[in-house]
Amino acid sequence: MNATELVAVLAQKLKLSKPEAGKRLDNMVASLTAELIESNIISITNFGNFEVKKRDERINVHPETGKRMLIPPKLVVKFKASPSFNKKIKELNHE
């Protein structure tokens, strides 16, 4: 699903016009981004948690040349699914 498809689904479910649903989605994404930039954890019940974490530096090996490279540390966004979300995904596997 891309952003256009998500806006269409939101518009239908919330009984809004597509431009209004698009504005609401943009506002939500901006709010989530701002919270993550402030290093806050975002917890969405029955879905999961988003958190900014520091990835340590590491050595990587280029598969074709075998050359070793040092990858510097960086900040990344991590997602951890909630137990109820994981349960729903596991149920899909058993259908």
Per-residue pLDDT of the chain (95 residues; tens, 9 = 90+): 999 999 999 999 999 999 999 999 999 999 999 999 998 999 999 999 999 999 999 999 999 999 999 999 999 999 999 999 999 999 988 76
Name the helix (H) or strand (E) containing 58. strand 58-61
Q: Are the C-beta atoms of residues 50 and 32 closer than 8 Å to each other?
A: yes
Look at residue 39 in the predicted model and tell me its pLDDT: 85
Third-level CATH fold of 40-95: HU Protein; Chain A (4.10.520)
User: Can you give the pTM of this predicted structure?
Assistant: 0.75
Look at residue 94 in the predicted model and tell me its pLDDT: 78
Domain ranges of the chain: 1-38, 40-95
Task: Give me the residues paired with residue 54 across strands.
Answer: 75
Look at residue 93 in the predicted model and tell me its pLDDT: 82
